[in-house]
C-alpha cells in the first residue's frame, strides 16, 4: 500500500501534471473571455444578418454555426499566440552549453585513443611528447 501511495505521489507532483492542471483551469477561464468577446462584439454584427421573425430557417442555423466557428477560431488564435510566445521565451532563456573538454587524444604513432594525461601509449608503448 505504501508503494502505491509513493507512486501516486510521484505521479501527481511531477511538473507535467501540475502544468496540465494549471492549463485546464486557465483554459476554463479563457473560455469565458472568448465567449464574452463573441457575445459583446460579434453577436450584434451577426444578429443583423438574421431573417426577420427570429431567424428561423437556414439563415438562423448558419448564424448559430458561425458563432461556434468564430469562437473556435478566436480560441485557437490566442492559444497559438500564447504557445508561440512561450516557445520564444524558452529559446531566449536557454543557454548554450560549452563543449566539454576532451578526455582522450590520439597516439601520433598508432592512432589509437588514449587518455589525455598519458605520457606513453598503452598500445604501441611509444613515448608521447607533451
Query: Residues 86, 106: one domain?
Result: no
Residues 79 and 40 in one domain: yes
Same domain, 61 and 35: yes
Give me the pLDDT at residue 54, please.
Answer: 52
- Reply yes or no on whether the pLDDT at 126 is more than 60: yes
* Domain count along the chain: 2
pLDDT of residue 24: 85
Contact 115, 122 (CB under 8 A): no
Whole-number pLDDT of residue 6: 86
CA angle in degrees (0–180, nearest 5) for 102-103-108: 85
pLDDT at 52 over 60: no
Domain match, 84 and 40 both:
yes
12-47 pLDDT per residue, tens: 777 677 677 778 888 888 788 777 777 787 777 766
Identify the domain containing residue 61 by its residue range.
2-93
Q: Are 124 and 79 within one domain? A: no
- 52 with 8, same domain: the answer is yes
Given this model, what pLDDT does residue 79 score?
Answer: 75
Report whether pLDDT(115) > 80. yes
User: How are the residues of the chain apportioned to helix, strand and coil, as percentages rounded to the nearest 5?
Assistant: 60, 5, 30
Looking at residue 46, what is its pLDDT?
65
Q: 66-111, pLDDT tens digit by residue? A: 777 877 787 778 778 877 887 888 777 666 667 788 889 988 888 8
The structure's pTM equals 0.39
Both 44 and 12 in one domain: the answer is yes
Are 65 and 106 within one domain?
no
Sign of CA dihedral 55, 57, 62, 65: positive
Grid look-up 601520433 returns 108
Amino acid at each position: 500500500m505504501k508503494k502505491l501511495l509513493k507512486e501516486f505521489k510521484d505521479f501527481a507532483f511531477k511538473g507535467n501534471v501540475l502544468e496540465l492542471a494549471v492549463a485546464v483551469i486557465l483554459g476554463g477561464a479563457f473560455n469565458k473571455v472568448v465567449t464574452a468577446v463573441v457575445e459583446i462584439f460579434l453577436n450584434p454584427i451577426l444578429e443583423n444578418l438574421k431573417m426577420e421573425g427570429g431567424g428561423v430557417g437556414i439563415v438562423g442555423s448558419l448564424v448559430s454555426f458561425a458563432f461556434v466557428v468564430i469562437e473556435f477560431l478566436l480560441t485557437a488564435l490566442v492559444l497559438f499566440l500564447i504557445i508561440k510566445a512561450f516557445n520564444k521565451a524558452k529559446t531566449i532563456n536557454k543557454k548554450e552549453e560549452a563543449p566539454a573538454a576532451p578526455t582522450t587524444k590520439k597516439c601520433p604513432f598508432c592512432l589509437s585513443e588514449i587518455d589525455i594525461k598519458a605520457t606513453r601509449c598503452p598500445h604501441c608503448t611509444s613515448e608521447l611528447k607533451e
